[in-house]
Homo-oligomer: A and B are copies of this chain.
């Protein structure tokens, strides 16, 4: 399947939750109600509301912005960007302004040299509302881990079990921390969202991020699930993208720091960025954050983090992420490890510290979530794109054709001016 063979979904405009009346009224009408327990929050188009209302559906932990002043993002909005033209990966002519509909975008913020040159919201998303970041969360966890490594607190060559002995006897029993950080792990676990029997659902049931089937008697927490995972293949060579690796990494860094993921993210990143709003992590039944996909942030705050990463970790008058960590991400991992995963839209890329690295002329690197959530950092064009979306399909293969060339065309336009 590619974008041109997508199943027929109602359009971006026709799935605007406000227009459709989802969750309006006290109480909302029965046929316009979205619940966690019946799974409707993850159906389409309901997810176009739900991704902007995670905390109303699930228990969450606060990622505090602290009490410092907001780091205002200077504004220099441009009206030439909507017309920026590009050719989609499958050969269609499209403009920046048209791509939002194709991508089921909920909002986008573009920074150029630190100034907001473009900002737009659709559907249920608003500037002050946190939206689910899905796997963009992983890049936060990977960054925190890389910070611990650089600081000498975490030994990337050590076995995972040095930090989490509970994982002895699992797939992770003979894996190193670095292998987890770069997802070159052999673990029997399927992430195919289209398959209702895929392990991703068992993982989600365990963590309470998806409603459990009647009579569910499986693992009750994320960690109870992780300790069931068995090895498949070898560690250390092929990149295979599996969310459980990030949950393992989150477990490791919490043990190293003696702090929760919400606390760590707040202390080391969120409270330093001058964010406008607290972020949040969805948590399981014992308060464990989902490091694989549980973060929600506002879009501007996500852009602030992207801008810090563009500026070698410095933002808001402080070195927030050490420059060495950003350099390590930008260098990327071994593209040969990545190639075997067969991402047709990402030729020559690699995955390092839970960031996707393009190895292109602009040295772009990016954080990606499966419904179109994204941070795109283009150091050469001095551009950062933060985007939230709720695409009907759970895979970037459906978003990349209308997204990757759009970011690149936008970069060219911004460099021209």
Contacts and interface: CB of A to CB of B under 8 A. Distances in A.
B55 A59 contact: yes
A11 to B, nearest CB: 26
A336 to B, nearest CB: 35
A287 B56 contact: yes
6 contacts: A23-B286, A26-B288, A28-B286, A37-B285, A55-B55, A56-B59
Residue of A53, A67, A287 ringed by the most chain B CB atoms within 10 A: A287
Interface string A262-292: 0000000000000010100001011110000
Given A56-B59, A59-B59, A33 B286 contact: yes
B27 A67 contact: no
Contacts of A288: 26-27
Contacts of A278: 278
Nearest to A252: B26
A26 B254 contact: yes
Interface of A: 23, 26-28, 33, 35-37, 53, 55-62, 64, 67, 70, 128, 221, 223, 251, 254-255, 260, 276, 278, 283, 285-288
Residue of A35, A62, A278 ringed by the most chain B CB atoms within 10 A: A62
Contacts of A260: 26
Contacts of A61: 55-56
A119 to B, nearest CB: 16
Given A221-B27, A255-B26, A56 B283 contact: yes
B23 A64 contact: no
B27 A286 contact: yes
A223 B27 contact: yes
